[in-house]
Amino acid sequence: MVSSNRLAIKSYPTNPDDWSEETLSAAEGAWQVNHPANAQLSLDAIATVGNASVRLYNPAGGNWVDFQFSLYDGREFDGTKSAATLNFFINLQAGRWDAVFDVYLYDAAGRFASRKNISVTVDGSFHHFALPLGSGVGWEETSGFDWRFLKAIMFRCLVAYPWPEGNIWIDEFHFSYYELELGKLTILSDPLGKQFRIDSSYYTTPQYGLGLLPYTDYTIGIDSTDFKQWENGDLNPVRTINLAEAQELTITAYYATAPPPGKGTLYVTANVTATVEVIETGTRKTTPCYFDLNPGTYTVRATYKEQTQEASVSISEGITTPINFNFKLPTNYIPVFLGLACIGILAIIIYPKLTTK
């Protein structure tokens, strides 16, 4: 269960007052009168939010009114979003209206869901409503109503007998919903090219920035052949990941022949090809490289050109401990693979006949 204080509330439109401020039409849709034909819509300086509200004037003699905000094609609202809600302030002119009103939602196919006889105090002031969207929260739905494509929102109000003229004001009319920012998971392996799955989807390392729903358990299972451990020391190739909102996490699976009994493994990498020496054993190798060592603490010295770096590392039995060195690169440094690529391109330019028929 996601705690509400971990959720980011969003509004559609982004400014929740846009549909009742400055104009009767917006980037997303427009207001219109359905009944009676001589009712009039306008903007009014009477407002509870911002500088204006939408005002419907009903001339004398009309015993009910229908007016609505219709979203343009492609601008429909998805009412299945988390905690989706229809929000508005309504003000019914005192002495002119019944103390209830109805709200209708229309989907893109013209089907509707309704909330009828919503009680409101008719006292000439604005009253706020937040109506949750979705099945099972009080809406009467026609068959097949699609909450994913809400196209229009209609208000129906009854005039109190003997049907005098009167005004209705709507302000800060908008949808709200909760939206989580995805976590991002990067999965690496040494060596690369290992297949893994997340639940029922399959990938191959490396994979960078996979978007995962926060506060949700995901099962990660990686190729178990010659698997040694994860970067956190977990020896099981299957593990569970649960990210917080917007959390970024990198996990790495290490593969190698198991160390001899009673030993652990040191895995050394660097941003260049460096010479590495374990001082206590006098063993030297070039990166990337493994050292099978007795449990204990060791000093690792890495050398690249005239640069030398040292680090202390603790080795545990049966565990692979990674360590990485970063050296300052010369300003004219070109990685080997890039240099070879440049040579290849140059060869094509200079000797085009060698590459064409």
226 and 307 fall within a common domain = no
Q: Is the pLDDT of residue 35 over 90?
A: yes
314 and 251 fall within a common domain = no
246 and 272 fall within a common domain = no
46 and 170 fall within a common domain = yes
- What CATH number does residue 311 fall under? 2.60.40.1120
pLDDT in tens, 113-135: 999 999 999 999 999 999 999 99
187 and 38 fall within a common domain = no
233 and 125 fall within a common domain = no
pLDDT in tens, 60-116: 877 899 999 999 999 999 999 989 999 999 999 998 999 999 999 999 999 999 999
Q: Which residues pair with 253 in a beta bridge?
A: 189, 230
Single out the residue in 152, 179, 206 at which a domain terminates.
179
Residue carrying the six token digits 């990166």: 287
314 and 269 fall within a common domain = yes
196 and 171 fall within a common domain = no
End-to-end CA distance of the chain: 65
130 and 116 fall within a common domain = yes
* 217, two tokens: 């358990």
How many distinct structural domains can be found in the chain?
3
Q: Is the pLDDT of residue 356 over 50?
A: no
- What CATH number does residue 217 fall under? 2.60.40
d(CA 224, CA 222): 6
Q: Do the Cβ atoms of 106 and 194 come closer than 8 Å? A: no
Residue 293: give the domain boundaries.
264-325
pLDDT-based confidence at 246, cuts 50/70/90?
confident
State whether residue 354 is helix, strand or coil: helix
Q: What number of other Cβ atoms are within 10 A of residue 312's Cβ?
A: 10
pTM: 0.55
* 103, two tokens: 């709200």
d(CA 3, CA 8): 11
Q: Do the Cβ atoms of 280 and 298 come closer than 8 Å? A: yes
pLDDT-based confidence at 160, cuts 50/70/90?
confident
